[in-house]
A and B are shown apart, each in its own frame.
Chain A
């Protein structure tokens, strides 16, 4: 009897187990079937998608599903690439027509390809490199370390940099509002390269009346800037000082004033010293509501030189006055008048004027035309039409104001 009961209980348990297994198996099979169907439909959808459209879809799905009260949406990263510096290349192609004179631009020229590498080094510093590739070689236009966490409101830069003398000297070629640089820069500040050298820079925001921004910068350079300064010995260092005052006159208008000083040894001889004094003024207008359609910028810079030469002193003076008005979202029109004596011979004076039109299809490209007329000291008048195509790829960082 007992044996029979045990046998029956065994059969019952076994049948239950089998039934349980079968139900489980069926459920799993059903789930797998559904999964296969879903995968099949995904494959079909992918097959039906046009080849070109596939990689450039924009998901309207949130990065992280809403979950009250807080969700986490970290910025997407790409593994180790996240530590790569921001890289960009800016191409500048220039052409010219007409009679050129002493500073003729070739008929057609890939004048520059600037490659920038920019990144934060550590919590205390960032680094910026700008390499300028021309048709004939490579040049380190700038390459410096900026120390962002110094005490006392100080900021330091170490490396090769454009000197903080005036305004246009600090600008990269792709950032000037003309195709060329003014005669003042050509004659007194070393041309396209400008005062640019290896050195140290220290700046501080100074206490000032309310709403006035006052910044002082002191720079020490090796003393080599082609056409302006030359270092013959280790002690022939150059120095630059700049004081900048800025104030918002109204919400849409501001005034930017600067005074600069530079000193170094002259290319004319090791015992000769050149000193430069500069003043700059910029008035900007940009109505905030229509900031992408309208703006105006007026600027002037003046430079006085004091250059010792064998047996004499040259005291040249140069300046330019320029304006640029934004006609619409893509169109800009500007003009410039410039006059400058030459650094090593103040008796020679050049005078010029330009009209410039710029068309910007987007933030990342522009086409520019410039009519330039120059009276050179050699009694030569040059009338030229310059044109420029400029384009940017990659993540070029914003420029300081």
Chain B
């Protein structure tokens, strides 16, 4: 009896080990990309994200512990548009993994097939703050781009593991169907608030605002990456009062003192929206991210008119 049980355990253990070994190893820079990779990869991929959803993805420490994953990963998916420029390049160089080097078969820049906004049309200098010269990298906050990213990942997974290509396509089709249904719901919920003016802390929301018809008129940061200054804050308060703007959208990793003080003086409200999956514990996938943000935003927009 004991012998049979140990044989069963051994077989199960072996199967689990072989299963893990058979899975495509995927590393992503953000949890949003990881969530989309899980959608299309299912149980045939093993996905890990380097940045956490409640972390500012511009400022991630390039810890050597990330190298343990990167040295063996089959596919690295990055946001691109210089979002990770401050931390990812040395990790890729040190990974000793030729597949994930720029141009390698396992390096996927998710932005390439997406609609990217805020492209500078003239010379860019740092007098404009920490601008991204190749466009705003927060593009995953439009479900249409989420669909494009998922498709690009599914295609690349199919190239890496041709035997499972049909499986990844089928998973993508299923994701696409569910996303279309969810989009109708989100569009419906946001419809009454189209055209509403809002202020955001950082320029994280152009795709989200465009998709749901919000108008971002100003920012708490005087320039991208520059902390709030007293003079800009006073100007912002004046503008919000003049134009009757009542809502300030803030990412969870920014200090709330300035936005709260601005909201207090303008009779407005601060909404801590999540720019990423994993921003709070209960938001575990791409659908829950928009469910959370749309629910919170519609409640705030309904409260302050």
Q: Which residues of A contact B (CB under 8 A)?
A: 54-66, 68-76, 120, 123-124, 126, 146, 148-150, 153-155, 204-205, 211, 213, 215, 244, 246-248, 251, 254, 256, 284, 286, 288-293, 329-330, 362-364, 393, 395, 397-401
Contacts and interface: CB of A to CB of B under 8 A. Distances in A.
28 contacts: A56-B124, A57-B120, A59-B119, A60-B210, A63-B119, A63-B135, A66-B144, A69-B147, A69-B176, A73-B111, A73-B112, A73-B135, A75-B112, A76-B135, A120-B102, A148-B96, A153-B71, A205-B96, A254-B65, A284-B61, A330-B227, A362-B226, A397-B90, A398-B89, A400-B90, A400-B94, A401-B63, A401-B64
A73 B113 contact: yes
A76 B56 contact: no
Given A75-B80, A120-B102, A60 B64 contact: no
Given A293-B255, A363-B86, 5 more contacts: A73-B113, A120-B101, A204-B96, A213-B65, A291-B60
A174 to B, nearest CB: 15
B158 to A, nearest CB: 15
Contact of B206 (A60, A153, A256, A401): A60
B143 to A, nearest CB: 11
Contact of B115 (A58, A66, A149, A256): A66
Nearest to A146: B93
Given A288-B54, A289-B54, A123 B121 contact: no
Given A73-B114, A123-B98, A363-B130, A291 B64 contact: no
Contact of B71 (A61, A205, A246, A399): A205
A315 to B, nearest CB: 33
Given A71-B113, A72-B112, A75-B80, A291 B118 contact: no
A17 to B, nearest CB: 48
A246 B65 contact: yes
Contacts of A397: 89-90
B116 A62 contact: yes
Contacts of A399: 90
Nearest to B211: A66
B65 A247 contact: yes
A246 B90 contact: no
B115 A291 contact: no
Given A55-B122, A66-B144, A288-B55, A123 B90 contact: no
Interface of B: 52, 54-56, 59-65, 67-68, 71, 80-81, 85-90, 93-96, 98, 101-104, 109, 111-126, 128-131, 133-135, 144, 147-148, 151-152, 176, 206, 210, 225-227, 252-255
B55 A291 contact: yes
Contacts of A330: 227
A153 B70 CA distance: 12
A292 B89 CA distance: 20
Given A205-B67, A213-B65, A398-B86, A123 B116 contact: no
Contact of B112 (A74, A211, A290, A293): A74
Which of B62, B63, B124 has the most chain A CB atoms closer than 10 A to its own CB? B63
Contacts of A288: 52, 54-55, 253
A400 B92 CA distance: 10
Given A63-B115, A288-B54, A124 B98 contact: yes
B255 A55 contact: no
A289 B253 contact: yes
B68 A211 contact: yes
B253 A291 contact: yes
Contacts of B101: 120, 123, 148-149
B89 A71 contact: no
A398 B114 contact: no
A150 B98 CA distance: 8
B57 to A, nearest CB: 10
